[in-house]
Chains A and B, each alone.
Chain A
Amino acid sequence: MTMIERPVELRSKVSVTIDGESVDVLEGDTILDACNKAGKDTPTVCYGPTVTPVNACRVCVVEVEGSRTLVPSCSRPAEEGMVVTTDSERVDANRKMVLEFLATSSDVSQSEEIMGWLGDYGADLDRYDAETTERMTDDVKVEDDLYIRAYDRCVLCYKCVEACGEDAQWTFAIAMSGRGFNNRISTEFDVTLPDSACVYCGNCVAVCPTNALQFKTEFDLRKMGDWRPEDQSVSRTVCSYCGVGCNLELHVQDNSIVKVTSPDDHSITSGNLCVKGRFGYQYVQNRSS
């Protein structure tokens, strides 16, 4: 068997300053990459390692010298000599407001990360008058046995759209629809998933940061008050359906598979699976005999 030769990308070094400290990254890397290298803890919601950043959430903003407004670190390429500040009052105040906006419009309680940042940045949610503050109040969509859509938890980060479309699946079953606060991720004319182009790869579920898209197993267990991540184990294995060799992570609670993921950094899957690997696990735990 011959190995496929991959072109070696030659990228030059770029030096930037992050909070006074010089950091070297490669040409094409983002400010976020530089921040990570400098050990800065940068909150991100719409960024994901497997999808193209849409830079819609703006929680990763930083100050860049010479720029009038703040800059989304997840998508701005680092440039030689860039002077970046992440620990200023201005950055903190903006991140705090973005987090307040997220938490006052959507139910972010199932995102441990966002809940943590709300505390870290001192978000003050009590100052929002409950009666006059509009939230997303969509009813949960349960249309099949595989996954549910709870758009009251959606923060409109576009990651599922990207995963369904050009970043992974090329199915284009969902898109952003509407405008402004009425924006919703939707199939055409809001038809149910079984009526849409959805192929149930579940790659949208895998990238969702707030559990707005959720495995039906997890949804049901949470409803029964029986979702216990601390009691779950994760077994890594290889999907047995075809010869591609996708790696699976089986999340097991009480000796039952409750969800299936794939490592984002896996060279074959980049976190993505097909319907068989993602949902076709019942045979593993068929205990009827």
Chain B
Amino acid sequence: MPEIAMTDAEPTAAEVAAVADAVVLQSPGQVTFDAAGETLVQEHERVVRGGQDRIFNRRHLLLPVLHAVRDAIGWISEGAANEIARVLQVPPAEVFGVASFYELFTFEDPGSPDVLHVCDDTACRIKGGVELKDELSADGRVVHGSPCLGLCEQAPAVFVQRTGQQHVSVRTATKDTVDAALDGTMTVPVAPVPQPAEALTLLRRVHDDAVQDYDGYVAAGGYEALAKAVTMAPADVVTHVGDAGLTGRGGAAFPTGFKWSAVAGEPGPRHLVVNADESEPGTFKDRVIMEHDPFSLIEAMTIGGYAMGAEQGWIYIRGEYPEATRALRSAIAEARSRNMLGPDVGGYSSQGRGFSFDIELRLGAGAYICGEETALLNSIEGYRGEPRNKPPFPTTHGLFGQPTAINNVETMVNVNQIMLLGGEAYAQQGTERSTGTKLFCLSGHVNAPGVYEVTYGATLREVIDLAGGVDGELKAILMGGAAGSFIGPDMLDVPLTIEASREAGFSLGSGVIMALNDTVDFDGFVARIAQFFRDESCGQCVPCRVGTVRQSESLLRIREKGAPIEAERAMLDDFAMVMKDSSICGLGHTASGAILSAIDMGLIGGQR
């Protein structure tokens, strides 16, 4: 342990208390503060960036403690950072380095107990987000423009960081609804799932408010999947997941069963991490599950823990999801008190199937890159959310260097369904390579935006029709989010499966279907996507750190200076090549797809 040298800046009493409380309160489950060193951190485990010894036992508390100080005080002062450095034994320069990585931490008093993050990104942009931002700013509020807040079906959206109070998100926001929310007269979020319960499988409980509580969840059929899982040997559960053909719903479509059997085959301790850092612009399906059926995620994770012999589960949720965070926090606490999380889950030891499993909830702090799985692991560990070089992969060298399965929320919840149906029966749904149901996030110019659940194989047109059809004349559809691509109305009859979309030249990604009609200012819209990648690149590797900036500059030249598209295109192709070929992670690999597709379709640069 290095000697911690720090400046003379002293913390206030309130800052000291916030740090101390956070350290004590953070770990109610298995990952206790004292145990962290022994159970989670193996010395000499060389994992990240070619090898850093994991010697800072308390380091993984850095992000929770920064949140605690920010929530209590409103910002991170030099004195508070010193206190954090002292208590966690993390060098002050690294405390600053980590805190400054995240958008939701600032180092100056914001001058108001309420800081408004107003979405001016894709879906909100075409629903008045930019104008709302200006209006709230003119009203004297402290306002920041924000990337997508995952509330696209209720655009425009505002996320409010409140000092000393619960954060809130304001949906279908106007100046009046923002004022009302800050006065505490906020309405409870309504599930934006227009389909009736009968038409839903994964989402069948989202209209039922009672499932927020354990008893209500059980009454609605909850925990039947776990009960069925523990009648099988753990390896058989993994086999069912493999037989089901389940693929990752976060965007990469990696076979889940393959991942699980790899982790189960590694020596323990093992981890199960759920990626709930849903930040791909236009994506909001995971939020709906977590807000309206939080126990389903906990149950599915518990099955995963049993199947892989992972005793520690983690949910990494984005910091801009206050309502989903509260729903999960409450559900985890209740599951624990009902013995559905803990040293003998469900009392199954009496049936000879005893196992231990608990869940830690960790909050992101405003960084899209932390949705990249290895960046997410670094973020949990208390490091900057910079992706790791792969190989090695998380299945062998994951959280704290230990074998780790990382799954998206929607992917995870499908496990309940697989247990109820059996793997082979589950695989009967959909097509041969795309099995089960899929959640699509419909936003933009559709008449009834929201999350829609369909069996794989429905065409794009059918899904858009479910959402009430297009409002106005359809010009383009942004598929898969900012990391996806634009497609035209000629693609409406493509079945939404992994294989058919790939053949047609696009990706389903995280299930974003953002319809855009002919009123959209595409020059501005596409420039905003370029800005998004510029803002969200972690900056670790040169191709992405500089490439996203050069790309954004090129789009601004086209938009603001009328630069000829042919000349810019040659540059943009070069930027795209090096980002795709030489970046460390998927952010750089996908940062130019939407932009080049917009040019190919003639959407920008006066080609219309």
Contacts and interface: CB of A to CB of B under 8 A. Distances in A.
A97 B578 contact: yes
A180 B547 CA distance: 10
Interface in A136-188: 155-156, 158, 166, 170-183, 186-188
Nearest to B53: A166
A196 B97 CA distance: 14
Contact of B535 (A98, A102, A172, A180): A180
Contact of B581 (A70, A166, A176, A177): A70
Contact of B52 (A56, A156, A166, A182): A166
Contact of A175 (B91, B577, B580): B91
- In this complex, the member of B52, B53, B548, B582 whose beta carbon has the largest number of chain A beta carbons within 10 angstroms is B582
A97 B534 contact: no
A52 B49 contact: yes
A197 interface: yes
- In this complex, the member of B2, B53, B93, B102 whose beta carbon has the largest number of chain A beta carbons within 10 angstroms is B93
B578 A132 contact: no
Nearest to B389: A55
Given A101-B546, A197-B92, A182 B539 contact: yes
- In this complex, the member of B97, B542, B589 whose beta carbon has the largest number of chain A beta carbons within 10 angstroms is B542
A129 interface: yes
Nearest to B52: A166
Interface in B83-116: 85, 91-97, 100-102, 107
Given A175-B96, A179-B100, A189-B96, A104 B546 contact: yes
A15 interface: no
- In this complex, the member of B107, B536, B545, B561 whose beta carbon has the largest number of chain A beta carbons within 10 angstroms is B545
A56 B541 contact: yes
B226 interface: no
A75 interface: yes
B571 interface: yes
Contacts of A178: 100-101, 539
A132 B542 contact: no
Nearest to B102: A179
B481 interface: no
A108 to B, nearest CB: 12
The secondary-structure label for the interface of chain A is loop
A189 B367 CA distance: 20
B539 A197 contact: no
A288 B107 CA distance: 49
A244 B335 CA distance: 60
Interface string A186-229: 11110100011100000000000000000000000000000000
Interface stretch (A6-14, A17-25, A57-65, A246-254): A57-65
Contact of B2 (A59, A172, A183): A172
A102 to B, nearest CB: 6
A197 B550 contact: no
Contacts of B81: 188-189
Nearest to B546: A101
Interface residues of A, number: 54
A174 B93 CA distance: 5
B542 A56 contact: yes
B508 interface: no
A42 interface: no
Given A69-B589, A94-B582, A188-B6, A101 B536 contact: no
B557 A98 contact: no
Nearest to B557: A132
A40 interface: no
Contact of B91 (A94, A134, A197): A197
Contacts of A189: 7, 78, 81, 96, 107
Nearest to A174: B93
Contacts of A166: 52-53
Contacts of B102: 179
Contacts of B349: none
Given A59-B542, A179-B101, A172 B52 contact: no
B69 interface: no
A133 B550 contact: yes
A188 B96 contact: yes
B549 interface: yes
Contacts of B325: none
A90 interface: yes
Interface in A61-109: 61, 69-70, 72, 75, 90, 93-94, 97-98, 101-102, 104-105
Nearest to B107: A189
Given A58-B583, A94-B581, A101-B578, A156 B545 contact: yes
A98 B311 CA distance: 43
B309 interface: no
Nearest to A133: B553
A277 interface: no
A271 interface: no
Contacts of B196: none
Contacts of B287: none
A71 B73 CA distance: 45
Nearest to A105: B546
Contact of B584 (A55, A158, A197): A55
Given A75-B50, A97-B578, A102 B542 contact: yes
A57 B50 contact: no
Contacts of A53: 50
A181 B534 contact: yes
A58 B550 CA distance: 17
Interface in B51-67: 51-53
A287 interface: no
Given A54-B49, A177-B97, 6 more contacts: A70-B581, A94-B543, A97-B547, A156-B545, A191-B7, A197-B5
25 contacts: A52-B52, A54-B49, A54-B540, A55-B584, A56-B584, A58-B542, A75-B50, A93-B577, A94-B578, A97-B543, A128-B550, A133-B553, A156-B542, A166-B52, A173-B91, A175-B93, A175-B96, A178-B539, A179-B100, A179-B538, A187-B96, A188-B92, A188-B93, A189-B81, A189-B96
Q: For the complex of A and B, list the 5 residue pairs with the smallest distance between their C-beta atoms, beginning with the closest.
A: A175-B97, A172-B91, A101-B546, A97-B578, A197-B5
Interface of A: 52-59, 61, 69-70, 72, 75, 90, 93-94, 97-98, 101-102, 104-105, 127-129, 132-134, 155-156, 158, 166, 170-183, 186-189, 191, 195-197
